C-alpha cells in the first residue's frame, strides 16, 4: 500500500472503524431483507467500503454528495446517522425519510448527502446543478457524485461531464468501477478505453486508482479535492473495485466464476486495511475490540428498528407538495 | 391449455414470434445471460436459442434503447425494446413520444414504426417512489401509440404477439406482481387482438371496468358482492388504446352503473377517460353517475403502512362499488 504523511494510525483506525460500520450495516441490512424486515431491494456496498470512506474523509460536512442505488456506504461515510438509516430500511418512525423512501432513497441533507437514487446517472446532472448554486452563492463547497461503471453509458453522465467542464464547476465525479452492472460485465457493453479516457476527452482530469486501497483513495482525494476547491474545475476519479456480493441481496450471483470471487476476497479493503494496522502497531486485541464495538452498535440499531413503531399510514399524505396536496380519492380526506 | 406464469407465457410468446418471423428481435439491459439477467424470467434461455444478435444485451442507455428501436423499425426490422420499469421508461419518453409516435404522421405516411416497448408497471412490495409507477395514461394521451396492459398469462402472451405483428408502436405494460401469477394458456397460437376487451364475469347490477392486475382484484370484489346477492359484470379492457368502447357501452346499457378501477394515480388517469366517454355516450342508460377509483396523487411511499394507504385495495374498490350500487 502507498504511504502518506496522513497515515497516523489513529486516523487510519478512525477510517477503518467507519469501514467496519458500513460492512456491519450492510450485512445487517442483507439479513433483515432475508428475514422480511426490509422490503424492496437492498444493494449492498460490501467490498467497496474504502472508496466511500477514503473520499468522504476528505470532504467537509457542508460539501454535497449525490449517490446512486448502492448508497448506504456513501451515506454513512458522509456522516448520515446509521441508526436513522436502519430505521428507514425497516420503514419505521425516525427513519431518514420518515419511512417514505427506503433503502434506495437514503438522504441526509444535514450532512450534505443529497440523496441516493433509484434511477441510474440521475445524480450526475443534479450534481452539476448543485455546483451552480454553490457558485451563485459564492461558497467554497464542492460536490461529489458517485456513479457506477454501468451508469457511465447513460446520456446524463456524459451531459453532466460536458456541463461541468463548460462552466468549470466544483464537481468530483467518482466512478466506482466494480466491473459489473447487475449481471452484465460492463466491458462488454462499453466502448473505448474506459471511463478515465471518456472524462479526459471533455478536458476533465481523470485518474485511475485502486479503490480497495484506502490510502490511495485518501491521498488522491486529498489532492483532487483541494484542487477543485481552489477553483480548478471538475475532475474524475476512477476507483477500481469489486462487488463481492450479488447485485442486490436477493441475487445469489451464481453467474460469476467462484474463482474470480475467491481472488477478489484476497484484495478486499477490510482485509488490506486491517493488515496495515497490524503492521503499524495496532494490536490484534484492539482490532477485535473495534469490531465487537461496531457489531454491537449495528445490532443495537437493528434491535431498535425491529421494535420501533410503524409510521401511521396517514403520514403518506404529507410532504407531497405545498399547493394542491392530496386527499384519498373518494374518501374525502 | 397449459398452466404457466405470466412471465413464462410472455417469454413463450416472444420466442414463438421470433421463430415465426426472423425480423423480430429484442433489446434491453441485462438480457443476455442464460438466466436472463435480473429480469423476472422473461428472457431465460432466449439467448441460447436466438443468439446475441437477436437478444441484444445493451448498455444502460435508455434513450438509445428506445431510439435504436425506432431506427431499427423504420429500417425494416421489428424490435421489442425492454425498458424494464416504467419508471426507467421515462428516461426514454422523448424517443417514444417525440419520435416513435410521430414519425409516420410527420413524414406523411412514408414510414411505419413497428416496435414494441415493454415497461413494467405497478406497486410491488416496498419498491417505493422510483420503481412502482403506473404510467399508462401518459402513453394513452400520446397520439400514434397503441397501449396494452394485459392481466393474465394468456392475454400477456396473446397481446405480445399482436403487438409484435402490429405496424404501430405499441407500449406493452406488464404488472410486476403478475409475473409470478399463473393461469391457463392455450396450446394453439393464442393471438389476442388489440382493442378487444374480455368480459371475465357477467352480471346485471354493476359494470366494473379495469385492466392489468386491477382486473384480477375486481374479480375478487365481484365474488364478494355475489355473496350479497349482487351481480357484477367485470370487464378486463386488456387494451387501453384503442379500447373496447362497444363492450363497455353494451354492459353499461345493461347494468346502468359503472365503476372504473385503476392502480395508477386517479387524477388525470385513464379511468377518467373511460368515465367521461361513457357519460357522453350512455348518459340515458345511467342510473347514477359513473365512479372511478385510483391512487391518491402522491409518489408511492416505501413503508408498509403508508404503502397500504396508497394502494387501491379490494376493500377500497368494494366500498366504492357499494356506493355506486346504493346510489
Ligand atoms: C435509468 C435506469 N436504468 C436501469 C436501472 C436498473 N439498474 C439498477 S442498478 C443497475 C446496474 C448498475 O450498475 P453500475 O452503475 O455499474 O453500479 P453497481 O450496481 O455495479 O454499483 C441497473 C441496470 C435503473 N435503476 N435506472
pLDDT at residue A4, rounded to an integer: 56
Considering B155, B185, B215, which residue would you say is the last residue of a domain?
B185
- Kindly write down the DSSP assignment for every residue of A218-259, as one continuous string: HHHHHHHHHHIIIII--EEEEEE----S-SSTT---TTS-HH
Considering B160, B185, B210, which residue would you say is the last residue of a domain?
B185
CB B74 within 8 A of CB B20: no
Establish whether residue B17 lines the binding site of ligand 1, counting it when its CB lies within 6 angstroms of any ligand atom.
Answer: no
Determine if the peptide bond prior to A319 is cis (ω within 30°). Answer: no
Partners of A99 on chain B (C-beta within 8 Å) are: 301-303, 306
d(CA A10, CA B25): 58
| Structural domain boundaries enclosing A30 | 9-317
Q: Which residues pair with B56 in a beta bridge?
A: B27
Quick one: B266 and B177 in the same domain? no
Quick one: B156 and B95 in the same domain? yes
- CA closest to B63 among chain A residues: A155
Quick one: B230 and B289 in the same domain? yes
The verdict on A323 touching B (C-beta cutoff 8 Å) is no
CATH number of the structural domain spanning residue A153? 3.40.50.970
d(CA B227, CA B40): 36
Helix A269-279 vs helix A49-56: angle between axes, to the nearest 10 degrees? 60
pLDDT at residue B143, rounded to an integer: 98
pLDDT at residue A326, rounded to an integer: 84
A93 domain residue, yes or no: yes
Establish whether residue A244 lines the binding site of ligand 1, counting it when its CB lies within 6 angstroms of any ligand atom.
Answer: no
The verdict on A97 touching B (C-beta cutoff 8 Å) is yes
Establish whether residue A246 lines the binding site of ligand 1, counting it when its CB lies within 6 angstroms of any ligand atom.
Answer: no
Quick one: B217 and B264 in the same domain? yes
Quick one: B26 and B173 in the same domain? yes
| A–B interface: beta-carbon pairs under 8 A | 151
B10 domain residue, yes or no: yes
Quick one: B164 and B214 in the same domain? no
A16 domain residue, yes or no: yes
pLDDT at residue B36, rounded to an integer: 66
Q: Across the interface, do A117 and B130 touch by the CB < 8 Å criterion?
A: yes
φ/ψ of residue B3, rounded to 5: -85, 130
Helix (H), strand (E) counts: chain B? 13, 14
Helix A9-34 vs helix A49-56: angle between axes, to the nearest 10 degrees? 130
Total domain count, chain B? 2
| Dihedral sign of CA atoms A292, A293, A294, A298 in order | positive
Q: Is residue A138 classed exposed, middle or buried when 0-12, 13-18 and 19+ CB atoms within 10 A define those classes?
A: exposed
Quick one: B69 and B173 in the same domain? yes
pLDDT at residue B35, rounded to an integer: 64
pLDDT at residue B38, rounded to an integer: 67
Quick one: B181 and B219 in the same domain? no
- CA closest to A248 among chain B residues: B38
B256 domain residue, yes or no: yes
Partners of A150 on chain B (C-beta within 8 Å) are: 59-60
Q: Is residue A169 classed exposed, middle or buried when 0-12, 13-18 and 19+ CB atoms within 10 A define those classes?
A: buried
Can you give the pLDDT of all 333 residues of chain A as single tens digits? 555 556 788 999 999 999 999 999 999 999 999 999 999 999 999 999 999 999 999 999 999 999 999 999 999 999 999 999 999 999 999 999 999 999 999 999 999 999 999 999 999 999 999 999 999 999 999 999 999 999 999 999 999 999 999 999 999 999 999 999 999 999 999 999 999 999 999 999 999 999 999 999 999 999 999 999 999 999 999 999 999 999 999 999 988 999 999 999 999 999 999 999 999 999 999 999 999 999 999 999 999 999 999 999 999 999 999 998 887 665 543
Distance from CA of B32 to the nearest CA of A (A): 8
Residue B190, all three cell numbers:
393464442
Partners of A154 on chain B (C-beta within 8 Å) are: 60-63, 91
A169 domain residue, yes or no: yes
CATH number of the structural domain spanning residue B219? 3.40.50.920
Quick one: B24 and B153 in the same domain? yes
Report, as ranges of residue numbers, the positions in chain B whose pLDDT lies below 50: none
How many A from CA of A181 to the centre of ligand 1? 6
pLDDT at residue A332, rounded to an integer: 41
A326 domain residue, yes or no: no
pLDDT at residue A38, rounded to an integer: 98
| Structural domain boundaries enclosing B281 | 198-326
A3 domain residue, yes or no: no
pLDDT at residue A8, rounded to an integer: 86
Quick one: B247 and B122 in the same domain? no
Distance from CA of B202 to the nearest CA of A (A): 26
Contacts of A291 (CB under 8 A, 6+ apart): A20
Quick one: B82 and B132 in the same domain? yes
Residues of B taking part in catalysis: 131
Quick one: B15 and B127 in the same domain? yes
Total domain count, chain A? 1
Cα–Cα nearest to B69, from B104, B19, B28? B28
Q: How far apart are the first and last CA of chain A?
A: 61
Partners of A96 on chain B (C-beta within 8 Å) are: none
pLDDT at residue A333, rounded to an integer: 38
B192 domain residue, yes or no: no
d(CA B250, CA B240): 17
Alpha-carbon torsion, ordered A23, A27, A28, A30, to 10 deg: 140
pLDDT at residue B41, rounded to an integer: 85
Which residue of A329, A331, A333 is the best one to mutate when testing the B interface, meaning the one whose CB has the most B CBs within 10 A?
A329
Residue B297, all three cell numbers:
396523487
| Dihedral sign of CA atoms B318, B320, B321, B325 in order | positive
Chain position carrying cell 417514505: A100
CATH number of the structural domain spanning residue B133? 3.40.50.970
Contacts of A293 (CB under 8 A, 6+ apart): none
Amino acid at each position: 500500500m502507498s504511504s502518506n504523511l496522513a497515515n497516523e494510525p489513529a486516523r487510519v483506525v478512525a477510517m477503518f472503524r467507519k469501514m467496519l460500520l458500513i460492512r456491519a450495516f450492510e450485512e445487517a441490512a442483507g439479513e433483515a431483507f432475508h428475514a422480511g424486515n426490509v422490503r424492496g431491494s437492498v444493494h449492498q456496498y460490501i467490498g467497496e467500503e474504502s472508496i466511500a470512506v477514503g473520499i468522504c474523509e476528505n470532504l467537509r460536512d457542508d460539501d454535497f454528495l449525490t449517490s446512486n442505488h448502492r448508497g448506504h456506504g456513501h451515506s454513512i461515510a458522509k456522516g448520515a446517522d446509521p441508526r436513522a438509516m436502519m430505521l428507514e430500511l425497516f420503514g419505521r418512525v425516525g427513519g431518514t425519510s420518515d419511512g417514505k423512501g427506503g433503502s434506495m432513497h437514503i438522504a441526509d441533507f444535514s450532512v450534505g448527502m443529497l440523496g441516493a437514487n433509484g434511477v441510474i446517472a440521475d445524480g450526475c446532472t443534479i450534481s452539476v446543478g448543485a455546483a451552480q448554486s454553490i457558485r451563485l452563492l459564492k461558497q467554497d463547497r464542492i460536490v461529489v457524485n458517485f456513479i457506477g461503471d454501468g451508469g457511465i453509458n447513460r446520456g446524463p453522465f456524459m451531459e453532466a461531464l460536458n456541463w461541468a467542464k463548460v462552466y468549470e464547476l466544483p464537481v468530483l465525479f467518482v466512478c466506482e468501477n466494480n466491473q459489473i452492472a447487475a449481471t452484465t460485465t460492463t466491458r462488454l457493453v462499453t466502448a473505448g478505453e474506459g471511463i478515465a479516457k471518456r472524462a479526459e476527452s471533455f478536458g476533465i482530469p481523470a485518474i485511475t486508482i485502486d479503490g480497495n486501497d484506502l490510502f490511495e483513495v485518501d491521498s488522491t482525494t486529498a489532492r483532487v479535492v483541494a484542487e477543485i476547491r481552489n477553483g480548478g474545475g471538475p475532475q474524475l476519479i476512477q476507483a477500481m473495485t469489486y462487488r463481492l456480493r450479488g447485485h442486490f441481496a436477493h441475487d445469489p450471483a451464481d453467474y460469476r466464476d467462484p474463482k474470480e470471487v475467491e481472488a477478489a476476497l484476497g484484495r478486499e479493503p477490510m482485509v488490506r486495511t486491517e493488515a496495515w494496522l497490524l503492521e503499524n502497531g495496532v494490536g490484534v486485541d484492539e482490532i477485535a475490540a473495534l469490531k465487537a464495538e461496531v457489531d454491537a452498535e449495528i445490532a443495537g440499531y437493528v434491535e431498535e428498528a425491529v421494535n420501533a413503531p410503524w409510521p401511521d399510514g396517514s403520514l403518506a399524505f404529507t410532504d407531497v407538495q405545498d399547493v394542491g396536496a392530496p386527499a384519498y380519492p373518494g374518501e374525502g380526506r | 391449455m397449459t398452466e404457466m406464469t405470466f412471465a413464462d407465457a410472455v417469454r413463450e410468446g416472444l420466442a414463438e414470434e421470433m421463430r415465426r418471423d426472423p425480423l423480430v428481435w429484442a433489446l434491453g439491459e441485462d438480457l443476455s445471460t442464460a438466466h436472463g439477467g435480473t429480469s423476472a424470467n422473461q428472457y431465460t434461455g432466449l439467448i441460447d436459442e436466438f443468439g446475441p444478435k437477436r437478444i441484444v444485451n445493451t448498455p444502460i442507455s435508455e434513450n438509445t434503447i428506445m431510439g435504436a428501436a425506432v431506427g431499427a423499425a423504420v429500417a425494416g426490422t421489428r424490435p421489442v425494446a425492454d425498458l424494464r420499469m416504467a419508471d426507467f421508461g421515462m428516461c426514454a419518453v422523448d424517443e417514444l413520444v417525440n419520435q416513435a409516435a410521430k414519425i409516420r404522421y410527420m413524414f406523411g405516411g412514408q414510414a411505419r414504426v413497428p416496435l414494441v416497448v415493454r415497461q413494467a408497471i405497478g406497486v410491488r412490495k416496498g419498491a417505493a417512489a422510483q420503481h412502482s409507477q403506473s404510467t399508462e395514461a401518459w402513453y394513452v394521451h400520446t397520439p400514434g401509440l397503441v397501449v396494452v396492459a394485459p392481466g393474465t398469462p394468456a392475454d400477456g402472451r396473446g397481446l405480445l404477439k399482436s403487438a409484435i405483428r402490429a405496424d404501430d408502436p405499441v407500449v406493452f405494460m406488464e404488472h410486476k406482481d403478475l409475473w409470478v401469477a399463473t393461469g391457463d394458456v392455450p396450446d394453439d397460437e393464442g393471438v389476442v387482438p388489440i382493442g378487444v376487451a374480455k368480459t371475465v364475469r357477467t352480471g346485471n347490477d354493476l359494470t366494473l371496468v379495469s385492466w392489468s392486475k386491477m382486473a384480477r382484484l375486481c374479480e375478487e370484489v365481484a365474488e364478494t358482492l355475489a355473496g350479497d346477492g349482487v351481480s357484477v359484470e367485470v370487464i378486463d379492457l386488456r387494451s387501453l388504446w384503442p379500447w373496447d368502447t362497444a363492450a363497455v357501452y353494451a354492459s353499461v346499457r345493461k347494468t346502468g352503473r359503472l365503476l372504473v378501477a385503476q392502480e395508477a394515480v386517479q387524477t388525470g388517469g385513464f379511468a377518467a377517460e373511460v368515465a367521461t366517454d361513457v357519460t357522453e355516450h350512455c348518459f340515458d342508460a345511467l342510473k347514477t353517475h359513473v365512479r372511478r377509483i385510483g391512487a391518491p396523487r402522491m409518489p408511492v411511499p416505501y413503508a408498509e403502512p403508508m404503502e397500504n394507504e396508497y394502494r387501491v385495495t379490494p376493500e377500497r374498490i368494494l366500498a366504492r362499488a357499494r356506493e355506486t350500487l346504493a346510489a
